[in-house]
Amino acid sequence: MNDDLHRILIKGGVTSPGELKDIISMLEAGGLKEVHFGSRQDLLFPLQDISQETLESISEFNTDIIDNRSFQNVVTSYVSADIFDMTYWLKGSTYLYILEGFNFLSTLKINITDPKQRIVPLFNGNINFIASESEDYWYVYIKLPHWEAGAYYPVLIYSWDITKICKAIESIYEDVVDIEELFFILSKQVDTNNKAIEKPLDIPYITFPYYEGMNRMGIDQYWLGLYWRNNKYDLTFLKDFCGFCLDNNIGKICITPWKSLIIKGMKKESRPELEHFLGERGINIRHSQLEMNWHIPVDDVEALDLKKYLVRSFDQNDISTYGLTFGISNDVGKRSHFASVIVEKNNAPTIVKDFDVRPTYNVLHFENFDPNTQSYKPYAQDVDKIELPGLLMELSKKYFTQLKKVSTKIITEETTSSKELQAVYQCKHCLTIYDQNYGDISANVEVGTLFTDLSEGYKCPVCDNPKSSYEEIEMSYTV
């Protein structure tokens, strides 16, 4: 990341259209045309010809511009609520209530997440709250900056104690050597409503979701994901987009760690207007998964060019990477990534520092290609750029082999009941199933309707692709 960039911390990755519009007006006053999204759900931008204080005075919402890289944004999986699988008790309002308590800037990275979603990382913070099955209680995984390894806090933390705990840790953490000492100090200093841990945290294996385009949300609502491949979001478009949200009673705009934005709860009758709004401005909402599942440093032209080169190689070789994610890093040895596969650029040896030499790269991946395992495995070291496409394709094939084994294991563990196979139809883009035994309530398709009897205008209820996008597969059913 460019260390010269200033930031605006979008707490929890969630803001209102009015507040974002105010921020954009402030940035435009500073002569800016574009803004970047950061991996911690913040906004990043250069600031040169105008002072920080002058810009802040323009904001009606008292927005603070952060030029100190030691302060961190609070990350949450609010963005995933109601659009991806979620823990039964965890609602969008829960995140908002918790975020209201963060009235201080933290130097520690704080993540507040649902373990049943994949779009927001669970463990790349210093203090990671992960929802448990007990209502309003959270596991806490802590890895302070000076600790060699992380550890789970020995009790569950109550939702309304989260900010209290974070503030207490912020004030003492530099002198704490391990989790036992931290628990002892906090137990003496902070009055909290803790709960005993009855079982270890179980994180389900979840493939990475498609997070762009117009998608159904319940019966009569939609959610929209927008993604720019170069992570340079045009301020004029964003300002107009905020206006659309305000006009259509869309209360929140969310920023994802994958440098995209999502709005939720758009009414069915607003969809035609939104399609016209996007089409008139030439906005593409059908990017390939090949290029959307990448995490690269902000404002890094060399990393973006490397990504384009690798994605082009995948496309030319007709390689699928569905559910797999990739990251490019300039920080060799950094262990807080959240992509399945990491490409590290090595620093040039000091002896050749003044010469133009080709860079070399390391390739690593998480165990089982699941970032939540927190266990890295080296795959190749000191390789040339030209070798990277072949290595990543090998890993993609290895991933799908691994995925098949995991799926088989899950099915075996779930039940020992007898099974029978039945033909169903699956969307090739988002893997949604059409089963005649259930029909499609959202499209007024009655139970028992054969797939072949669906009208040619039928579309996938999740990704909106046409009927021709479906293919027949066999699925096992318990009998």
CATH number of the domain bearing residue 65: 3.90.480.10
Same domain, 282 and 296: no
Residues 141/150, Cβ–Cβ less than 8 Å: yes
Residues of the chain with pLDDT under 50: 410-419, 478-479
How many structural domains are present in the chain? Answer: 3
pLDDT given for residue 421 in this prediction: 60
- Write down which residue in 287, 310, 332 finishes a domain: 287
Same domain, 215 and 275: yes
In angstroms, rounded to a whole number, what is the distance separating the alpha carbons of residues 8 and 213? 26
Same domain, 379 and 461: no
pLDDT given for residue 407 in this prediction: 56
- Write down which residue in 287, 321, 339 finishes a domain: 287
E runs forming strands in 175-306: 195-196, 213-217, 221-227, 233-234, 253-255, 260-267, 294-295
Same domain, 281 and 370: no
In angstroms, rounded to a whole number, what is the distance separating the alpha carbons of residues 214 and 223? 6
Same domain, 20 and 97: yes
Residue 159 domain flag: no
Q: DSSP per residue over 275-328, as a string?
A: HHHHHHTT------HHHHSEE--TT-HHHHHHHHHHHHHHHHTT---TT--EEE
Same domain, 302 and 383: yes
Q: What is the pLDDT of residues 411-424, one digit of tens each?
A: 444 444 444 567 88
pLDDT given for residue 283 in this prediction: 92
What does pTM read for this prediction?
0.84
- Write down which residue in 366, 382, 405 finishes a domain: 405
What CATH number did the domain enclosing 374 receive? 3.30.413
Q: What is the pLDDT of residues 35-54, one digit of tens each?
A: 999 999 999 999 877 788 88
Residues in the chain: 479
Rounded to the nearest angstrom, the gap between the alpha carbon of residue 163 and the centroid of all alpha carbons in its chain is: 22
Same domain, 247 and 210: yes
Residue 49 domain flag: yes
What CATH number did the domain enclosing 461 receive? 2.20.28.10
Residue 450 domain flag: yes
Same domain, 266 and 395: no
Same domain, 381 and 432: no
Instruction: Please say whether the dihedral angle defined by the alpha carbons of residues 20, 21, 26 and 32, taken in this order, is positive or negative.
Output: positive
Same domain, 12 and 83: yes
Closest to 445 in 3D by CA, of 460, 430, 431, 432: 460
Residue 182 domain flag: no
In angstroms, rounded to a whole number, what is the distance separating the alpha carbons of residues 169 and 163? 10
Domain of 442 in residue numbering reads as: 419-478
Same domain, 232 and 83: yes
Residue 338 domain flag: yes
Same domain, 51 and 90: yes
In angstroms, rounded to a whole number, what is the distance separating the alpha carbons of residues 333 and 335? 6
Residue 176 domain flag: no
Residue 425 domain flag: yes
Residue 111 domain flag: yes
The residue type at 258: W
